[in-house]
Amino acid sequence: MAVSPTPKLTPVKPTPLSTHPAQVALAAFAGLTAPCAVAYSGGADSTALLHAACAIWPGQVSAIHVNHGLQAAADQFERNCAAVCAQLNVPLHVVKVNARHEAGESPEDAARKARYSGLADAARALGVSQVLLGQHADDQVETILLALSRGAGLAGLSAMPAVFERAGVQFCRPLLDVSGASLRDWLTQAGHAFVDDPSNTDERFTRNRIRARLLPALADAFPQFRQTFARSASHAAQAQVLLDEVAAQDLLHVGSPPAIKALQALSRPRQANVLRHWLLVYHQARPSTAQLAQLLDQVAACTTRGHQIHLKMANGHVLRAVSHLQWLSPI
């Protein structure tokens, strides 16, 4: 049952595996081990995931709740999570983070960075190596559509990986093949309480507009869109892996920092690929498409000893240092 902000707690009922979509997904997800932790917000997705994990690994699951402090009801959400965890006999670790965004940073990006940092810290404190995340198939489609709207390349179109590592902790998304509606339907039928976060319907946020307006239209026009979008994201992810491998090999040839003559011997697409790789891997810089195109133009024009390069690139600069490119970090 969806509630806001205080859930009505009901006794936990054993549920047949075949009717529990999150439990089916967890059982089929390779590489999961216990003990583990669930990132638990109190919402429908993480609530279904928490119930599923407890059913599969009783007594070996912890919950981590991140309190961003961005909403008036944040403390109430925390109390709701504590009540559900007490009912399930699951240890709850609460992390309070500062998710205020800096100038030029989106609120969503700031909150996401703070959340993952807090989850990783909590996991290490709990002594667990895996944290389970509740993002599902609808979240994956929203991510792909956001990437398309921004003109993203293969890395963006790959959407959310099922498994990734941050700060020494492995994060897993076992529900990426499960629709949000099926999770909510199961919770309602089983009588399990969850909280509806009012910010999820605030259409000032692009993701919420996609959820409210585009997903229903896609479901009407292309009923299998979740599966086909996921397949496209998987193809993009595979292609990105290949590009990364080529970039790593090319970087061995051009060097780090890259030699200009060696770069000029490559095709323009491979120059772009290896420079993007160099900037990201060695300097954590993500240049815009326009910035990278300008750098490629300058590399092509660099045919005389006196030709200078000094370009703004992401949060720093790339300049010519005799025969090589050089990264200049922001002050």
> Which domain range does residue 271 map to?
255-328
Asked if 319 and 311 count as a contact pair (C-beta separation under 8 A), the reply is yes
Sequence letter at residue 244 = D
The answer on 192 and 49 residing in a single domain is yes
Is residue 248 in some structural domain?
no
Task: Taking the CA atoms of 89, 121, 98 and 205 in sequence, report the sign of the dihedral they define.
Answer: negative
Asked if 141 and 62 count as a contact pair (C-beta separation under 8 A), the reply is no
Give me the number of domains the chain comprises. 2
- Nearest residue to 55 via CA among 145, 186, 180, 150: 186
Sequence letter at residue 179 = S
SS3 273: helix
Give the angle subtended at the CA of 24 by the CAs of 197 and 126, to the nearest 5°.
Answer: 60
How far apart, in Å, are the Cα atoms of 26 and each of 61, 170, 174, 184? 13, 15, 6, 17
Residue tagged 């946020």 (tokens):
205
Buried b (16+ CB within 10 A) or exposed e, 75-85: eebbebbebbb
Is residue 147 in some structural domain?
yes
The answer on 260 and 198 residing in a single domain is no
Residue tagged 């709207």 (tokens):
149
Residue 62: which CATH number? 3.40.50.620
DSSP-assigned letter for residue 9: P
Q: Which residues pair with 66 in a beta bridge?
A: 95
Question: Tens place of pLDDT for every residue, the chain, 331 residues?
Answer: 444 444 444 444 444 445 689 999 999 998 998 999 999 999 999 999 999 999 999 999 999 999 876 666 678 888 999 999 999 999 999 998 776 655 555 656 767 788 888 999 999 999 999 999 999 999 999 999 999 999 999 999 999 999 999 989 999 999 999 999 999 999 999 999 898 877 777 788 888 999 999 999 999 999 999 999 999 999 999 999 999 999 999 999 999 999 999 999 999 999 999 999 999 999 999 999 999 999 999 999 999 988 999 999 998 999 999 999 999 988 6
Sequence letter at residue 124 = R
The answer on 159 and 90 residing in a single domain is yes
Residue 263: which CATH number? 3.30.465
Single residue among 177, 208, 225 that ends a domain in this structure: 225
Give the Cα separation of 273 and 214 in Å (integer): 33
The answer on 171 and 263 residing in a single domain is no
Is residue 204 in some structural domain?
yes
Is residue 170 in some structural domain?
yes
The answer on 306 and 265 residing in a single domain is yes
β-pair type (310-313, 36-39): unpaired
Q: Which residues pair with 93 in a beta bridge?
A: 64
Asked if 258 and 325 count as a contact pair (C-beta separation under 8 A), the reply is yes
